[in-house]
A and B are shown apart, each in its own frame.
Chain A
């Protein structure tokens, strides 16, 4: 079954901790994305990667970091520098980073700061 998996589904973080959210896809897509969703809001782009070993900042990259060492994987680290990390995080992928390419989403990770 082709798709995008995210883990964990729920994540709790203490103040001052870094946490890493996993995103894996087996769709053979070149482009991958991380979005953040706050309650009642649309999605905002954190980081994106058009190809392996390359990634770019989105609109709200401060306090986050990513890596893209493998085509299938695009983990997101929420660092202690992110002041308000409680949110729903969605990973997406598309065949290429083109306007006409559909982005497909994973099931999401809900992060809560204790």
Chain B
């Protein structure tokens, strides 16, 4: 079975500092995709970054980077230079090739609050 674990229910970070949101996953698939989404209080799910299981380089998108450690099965999100607008819920998710349902498996999420 596939599973995503986010162990930090809530996090605080000072504006302009970097923050790491933890994500570990469990799968027996060799090929899978890892995703991070941001959900502000408005509710929409905003795609942030993607990492493929065969990608050798860590993914980066602007201020977001994904620290992918395949042997540890971790896919932590790093947000550099935090901004007040980064305050939101963050979800780690994965899809594996063995999953015939097409679904994303989501973690429970981490609430990030950026302090001015």
Chain A residues near B (Cβ < 8 Å): 31, 33, 40-43, 45, 48, 50, 56, 58-59, 88, 90, 92, 97-108, 110
Q: List the 6 closest pairs (A to B, CB-CB), nearest first.
A: A42-B106, A45-B103, A105-B45, A97-B102, A99-B95, A48-B102
How many chain B residues touch A (CB < 8 A): the figure is 29
* A48 cross-chain contacts in B, Cβ below 8 A: 101-103
**A105:B44 contact, CB within 8 angstroms:** yes
**Chain A residue with Cβ nearest B31:** A99
A41 vs B106: C-alpha distance in the bound complex, in angstroms? 9
**B101:A58 contact, CB within 8 angstroms:** yes
A-B contact pairs, 22 of them (CB 8 A): A33-B102, A41-B108, A41-B109, A42-B4, A42-B91, A42-B93, A45-B103, A48-B102, A56-B101, A92-B104, A98-B95, A100-B33, A101-B95, A102-B50, A105-B37, A105-B46, A105-B47, A107-B43, A107-B44, A108-B43, A108-B45, A110-B43
